[in-house]
């Protein structure tokens, strides 16, 4: 829906509208999910099984560490980032995006797993469906194969965190922190030194490593939970 408003507004105003819509839809999904799965909103948004969530997020943590190394090694300065854009686009919009998208693409789609036999094959199917839909969402305005696989891979890692732990807050926070850097990147003046260029050249490989680690964690027997 926010894409409709972009035809009439831009800049800080659009980011505020976009963030407001994400909050509204996120709360609506939270209410619907609460009724559908008979769980209180406070229970859904709790830090339950945090240790298991962190363990399940090992793949994403490794990828994010790699991403931070790229960012730090190539960072030369910031240009064109105003205070208004920082507050509305980089902080507010990404916080509300993490809230809305994790409820929609992880909790709403994956909570139903507990009502199935919850076998490995079923888990993989649910997680893959969530990941594909998440990747497609980010290609609504224009198809980009790399964007589809990148967002799909990250969505896969977030889905594994939720499926293994039942904790949706950790994926929300992880989503928000990653997006802070991802949305800041276009405003960064990059120093193309050997470390930055070499690390950046294996971006796709690291995405694949994240997916593999997450998939292994997903299929591990539940009894080894930490």
The helix/strand/coil state of 139 is coil
Q: What is the pLDDT of residue 113?
A: 83
Q: What is the mean pLDDT of residues 183-191?
A: 97
Contacts of 57 (CB under 8 A, 6+ apart): 157, 160, 161, 170, 171, 174
Q: What is the pLDDT of residue 223?
A: 57
Q: How far is CA 38 from CA 4, 34, 99, in A?
A: 34, 5, 20
Q: What is the pLDDT of residues 18-33, one digit of tens each?
A: 999 999 999 999 999 9
Q: What is the pLDDT of residues 195-210, one digit of tens each?
A: 999 999 999 999 999 9
User: Does position 7 have pLDDT exceeding 80, yes or no?
Assistant: no
Q: Say how far apart CA 176 and CA 48 lie, in whole Å.
A: 19
Short-list 165, 147, 146, 179, CA closest to 214: 165
Q: What is the pLDDT of residues 138-163, one digit of tens each?
A: 898 889 999 999 999 999 999 999 99
Contacts of 40 (CB under 8 A, 6+ apart): 34
Percentage with pLDDT > 70 across the chain = 93
Is the pTM above the cut of 0.85? yes
Handedness of CA 204, 51, 49, 23 (dihedral sign): negative
């Amino acid at each position: 829906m926010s894409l409709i408003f972009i035809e009439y507004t831009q800049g800080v105003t659009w980011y505020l509208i976009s963030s407001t819509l994400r909050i509204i839809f996120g709360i609506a999904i939270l209410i619907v999910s609460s009724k559908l799965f008979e769980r209180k909103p406070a229970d859904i948004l709790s830090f339950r099984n945090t240790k298991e969530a962190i363990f399940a997020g090992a793949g994403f943590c490794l990828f994010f560490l790699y991403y931070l190394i790229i960012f730090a090694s190539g960072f030369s300065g910031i240009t064109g980032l105003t205070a208004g854009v920082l507050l509305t686009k980089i902080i507010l919009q990404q916080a509300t995006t993490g809230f809305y998208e994790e409820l929609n693409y992880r909790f709403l789609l994956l909570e139903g797993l507990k009502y199935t036999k919850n076998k490995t094959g079923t888990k993989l199917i649910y997680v893959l469906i969530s990941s594909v839909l998440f990747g497609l969402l980010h290609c609504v305005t224009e198809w980009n194969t790399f964007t589809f696989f990148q967002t799909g891979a990250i969505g896969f890692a977030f889905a594994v965190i939720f499926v293994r732990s039942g904790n949706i807050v950790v994926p929300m926070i992880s989503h928000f922190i990653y997006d802070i850097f991802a949305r800041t990147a276009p405003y960064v003046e990059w120093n193309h030194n050997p470390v930055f260029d070499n690390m950046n050249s294996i971006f796709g490989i690291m995405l694949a490593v994240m997916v593999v680690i997450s998939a292994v964690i997903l299929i591990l027997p539940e009894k080894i939970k930490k």
